[in-house]
Amino acid sequence: MTRNTNDNNGLPIYHLIAILEDAKRGYLNAADKIKDEVLSLLLERFGYQKGRYITELRQLVNHLGVNSSIDQFTLSLLHRTWMDLKNTFKFGQRDAVIQACIKAEETALKNYTTALEEIRNNDEAKVILQQQVNGTRTVLNTIREYTGKSYN
């Protein structure tokens, strides 16, 4: 039995949706907790951006007619990561929040790269993902420029 190519295209997109949901919650929570007003506004903006990306990817999945879903392992892993980040944000520690955001954006870029490699024969999906990669790089650069520090 041959698997539908749309299903093959959908799986990496579903993983990105889960990652973006996690990032959105993380940014919005950090924006509420951080004491730096400018950074708080930036984090809020980044959270809303992730929400827009989620909407774009859900529309893409619907257009592709993909009926796959995120596996339970991925969801539990994301929940664990979210709980770790939530503890970081709890006390509004600026440097810890910034480091967590940078690490999350770098991880997101790796996931986008993987998704772009896995998606074949779908130029529409590749264009949307590449636009989101560009936006994610902009977020990462903005965080780094705002802080004026190099975090690794």
- Pick the more confident residue, 86 or 62: 62
Checking if the pLDDT of 18 tops 90, the result is: no
Rounded distance between C-alpha atoms, residue 95 and residue 38, angstroms: 14
Checking if the pLDDT of 64 tops 60, the result is: yes
Q: Summarize the confidence of residues 67-95 as an average pLDDT.
A: 58
Dmax over Cα atoms in the chain, in whole Å? 56
Checking if the pLDDT of 5 tops 70, the result is: no
- Pick the more confident residue, 104 or 53: 53
| pLDDT tens per residue across span 100-115 | 888 889 989 999 999 9
* Structure confidence at residue 63 (pLDDT): 85
pTM of the model: 0.79
Rounded distance between C-alpha atoms, residue 30 and residue 95, angstroms: 12
Out of 33-42, 55-64, 75-84, 128-137, least confident range: 75-84
Ramachandran area for residue 92 (φ above 0: left; ψ -120 to 50: alpha; else beta): left
CATH class label, 5-147: mainly alpha
